[in-house]
Amino acid sequence: MNFNIAVIKGDGIGDEIVTQAMKALETVGAVYNHSFTFTDVLMGGCAIDATGVPLPQETIDVCLKSDSVLLGAVGGPKWDTLPGHLRPEAGLLGIRSAMGLYANIRPAVLFKPLKKACPLRADIADRGFDMVIIRELTGGIYFGERGRRTTENGVEAFDTERYHETEIRRIAKVAFETAMTRRKKLISIDKANVLESSRLWRETVHKMAVEYPQVEVSDMLVDNAAMQLVKDPSQFDVVVTSNMFGDILSDESAMITGSIGMLASASLGDSKRGLYEPIHGSAPDIAGQDKANPVATILSVAMMLKYSFGLPKECAAIEHAVDAVLQAGARTPDIKDAETTQVVGTRQMGELICREIGK
């Protein structure tokens, strides 16, 4: 089978990590008789430099015609002083909206070889964890009304947290169906003791729970969830939450895996076309130095194979290859643990994983 993939390398380390993910896909193609056609497009700071805007229309058009999109990372201090609508991050929000991607799926797994890299206490890390955070992606405070106004106390800035029932129902449906394929345990995270939007969120999730009687559903306030993630992450299976809460909690879950460079993500809508990216940033401080961890990006294309292309065996091949390389002791510089026997760069980590895929 042939698949057309739009490639947004972006800024900072984006080029380096995406290149390794593309090589992983090409290796999968050679082993399992698939082919992948890549089309490079601009988004983020590099797009601002080339076109004056963070998300050119050409990029949107190519992405909408592709089978899926692979993204590296966008942003950097060079563009931090630009107004909000012209910053690189505006391109990210824009492409999610243009593609109708309302569900962000972020697995957080502690690979056994990385237990000693986990910053949690040894007895907690020994229990391990395997969770999926389902984050609503196109609503909430990131997309609500915002602005500034002059008051008697000076300039006031505001951002509005808002959700309507349809948005909550569709993300909850993704979460319930994900839970049905796993341990059938779903925790909905909100701030219903304070926020009206969270009260609607909780009411809507509870109404939907009737449609999934096999799933054990519980609620958790977001501040408690932040504590529970470091106290006992093994208690979590599937989590569903709002845009901002999901952004924060998924980064926390990333750190306890041993490195933020280990976590992949998929952003999906109603079609099979998705946007796949690592959850970390562009890390301009190490760009071009062959130090970046490509594993999250490589695991992101594994998710692409599973969710967009319906190739679970090929997805598993990449995941097993990553595990085998970690078991052998190879680590990029961001992973600090006692099991490290070989510190490798971006390119070498990609090469080692590709070799395992081919075995």
Query: What is the model's pLDDT at position 301?
Result: 98
Catalytic residue among 251, 290, 323, 337: 251
What is the pLDDT at residue 50? Answer: 97
Active site (annotated) includes residue 247? yes
List the catalytic residue out of 142, 163, 276, 307.
Answer: 142
Taking the C-alpha atoms of residue 12 and residue 288, their distance in angstroms, rounded to an integer, is 8
Q: In the annotation, is 223 catalytic?
A: yes
pLDDT at residue 84, rounded to an integer: 83
Is residue 32 part of the annotated active site? The answer reads no
Q: Produce one character per residue of 230-250: b if its CB has 16 or more CB atoms within 10 Å, e if not.
A: eeebeebbbbbbbbbbbbebb
* Residue range 206-235, pLDDT digits in tens: 999 999 999 999 999 999 999 999 999 999
Q: What is the pTM of this model?
A: 0.90
Q: Is beta strand 2-10 parallel, antiparallel or unpaired with respect to 330-331?
A: unpaired
42-63 per-position pLDDT tens digit? 999 999 999 999 999 999 999 9
Catalytic pick from 67, 191, 237, 334? Answer: 191
Q: Domains of the chain (ranges plus CATH)?
A: 1-100+265-359 (3.40.718.10), 119-256 (3.40.718.10)
Which residues lie closer than 8 Å to 47 by C-beta, 6 or more apart? 53, 54, 55, 56, 59, 88, 91
Contact 71, 276 (CB under 8 A): yes
pLDDT at 339: 61
- DSSP, res 115: G
For 358, the token pair is 């081919």
Residue 11 annotated as catalytic: no
> pLDDT tens digits, residue range 311-347?
999 999 999 999 999 999 999 999 877 666 789 999 9
For position 337, what pLDDT does the model report?
Answer: 75
Q: Is 40 a catalytic residue?
A: no
Q: Which residues of the chain have pLDDT under 50?
A: none
